[in-house]
Amino acid sequence: MKRVQYSSRGPVPQDVVEVVGFDMPPLGPGQVLVRVMAAPINPSDLLTITGQYGVLPPLPAVPGNEGAGQVVETGPGVAGLKPGQPVLLPVGAGSWATHMVADASLLLPLPENADLRQMSMLAINPPTAQLLLSEFVDLQPGEWIIQNAANSAVGGYITQIAKNRGIKTVNIVRRSSAEASVLENSGDVVLVDGDDLPGRVRRLSGAFKIRLGIDAVGGESTGRLAACLARGGTLINYGAMSGQACRIPPSEFIFRDISLRGFWLSRWFSQAGPQRQLELFTDLMGQITAGKLKARILATFGIGQIREALAAAAAGDRDGKILIEP
């Protein structure tokens, strides 16, 4: 059995990780041995390894915040799970490993015919997208939203979920080469970011009002999105891909009553009860199983190729997710 581990943090993730062997201890009551089948590399994983994320685990640490696997063995007192059962791994469990032990109560059974690559990405980006569209503004079919980083994983889920709900999307990207993939991913309108963005959006939007903006970039991009919103609109920030603080002119708050809110999925998990979390995951699982929701996968790597996988995940012009298949 092998897993990825890091004992120090540094600016280049692939420079601080290593693959180590380990022996699995005997299973205790209520525990399950799981073979990890697929685990994505998310931006939050990279930021955790480099020490830039909001919450950091003690060192040494095994990275990997989500994944899907198959039950190998069950410990005493485990009911409802059997060897071969596909399961969703607990969030933050350290999924970059060939095997892991988890409490049975924290494992979510997946359909027997589940696409484990797609299901391995279920726990973070799809809930983020769904909640961004539902927790802040009561959107109705036919309304429009605007988002930047539209070619990101979360952006792709947002366009698909919005389409399933009859909501139209204006999608902002930072390079023209990303436009085609957003259109293929159910985006309605795609524009390249720039100083004249608000004017271009106003000319396109015509009579309809945009009440919700979703920002993952920060910096001047946040202000440009704010300027695209209707009076009284709400702008949600959930990331800072630019590495800069959100910049919005005071006039947007004072004269146009724009609201800026933040969203962090971990906080939502800590506040939502188990039943609400289960309902969210069950809904998203159904959308994935029905083929209504999926992420583009650029490449897969074995656990022994973790350094190559991390370099691919950190590439700025990447178009699709990087998965580890231990």
**pLDDT digits over 48-101, tens only?**
999 988 889 999 999 999 999 999 999 999 999 999 999 999 999 999 999 999
The CATH 3.90.180.10 domain(s) of the chain lie at 2-121+295-324
Q: Return the pLDDT at 203.
A: 85
pLDDT at 105 over 90: yes
How many Cα atoms are found within 13 Å in the side-chain-facing hemisphere of 75? 16
Q: Return the pLDDT at 185.
A: 86
The answer for residues whose C-beta is within 8 angstroms of residue 243's C-beta and 6 or more apart is 218, 219
CA distance 200 to 190: 11
CA distance 53 to 229: 29
pLDDT at 133 over 80: yes
8 A C-beta contact, residue 323 and residue 117: yes
Tell me, which fold does domain 125-266 have in CATH? Rossmann fold (3.40.50)
Q: Return the pLDDT at 186.
A: 87
Please count the other Cβ atoms lying within 10 Å of the Cβ belonging to residue 180. Answer: 13
CA distance 125 to 238: 11
DSSP E strand boundaries for the chain: 2-6, 17-21, 31-40, 68-74, 86-88, 99-103, 108-109, 144-147, 168-173, 189-192, 210-215, 234-237, 259-262, 297-301, 321-324
Q: Return the pLDDT at 65.
A: 94
The answer for residues whose C-beta is within 8 angstroms of residue 316's C-beta and 6 or more apart is none
CA distance 168 to 311: 34
Q: Return the pLDDT at 55.
A: 87
**What value does the mean pLDDT take over residues 125-135?**
97
pTM above 0.85, yes or no: yes
The CATH 3.40.50.720 domain(s) of the chain lie at 125-266
**pLDDT tier, 316 (very low <50, low <70, confident <90, very high otherwise):** confident
8 A C-beta contact, residue 112 and residue 136: no
The answer for residues whose C-beta is within 8 angstroms of residue 300's C-beta and 6 or more apart is 38, 117, 322, 323, 324, 325
Q: Return the pLDDT at 77.
A: 95
Q: Return the pLDDT at 229.
A: 96
Just list the catalytic residues: 53
**pLDDT digits over 257-304, tens only?**
999 999 999 999 999 989 999 999 999 999 999 999 999 999 999 999
CA distance 118 to 86: 13
Helices (H) and strands (E) in the chain, counts: 11, 15
**pLDDT digits over 203-241, tens only?**
886 768 999 999 999 999 999 999 999 999 999 999 988
SS (H, E, C) 41-108: CCHHHHHHHHCCCCCCCCCCECCCCCCEEEEEEECCCCCCCCCCCEEECCCCCCCCECEEEEEHHHCE
Provide the residue type at 314 as one letter: A
CA distance 125 to 58: 24
Return the CATH number of the domain spanning residue range 2-121+295-324: 3.90.180.10
Going from the C-alpha of 312 to that of each of 170, 239, 281, 325, the distances in angstroms are 28, 20, 28, 15
Phi, psi dihedral angles at 48 (to 5 degrees): -70, -40
8 A C-beta contact, residue 248 and residue 223: yes
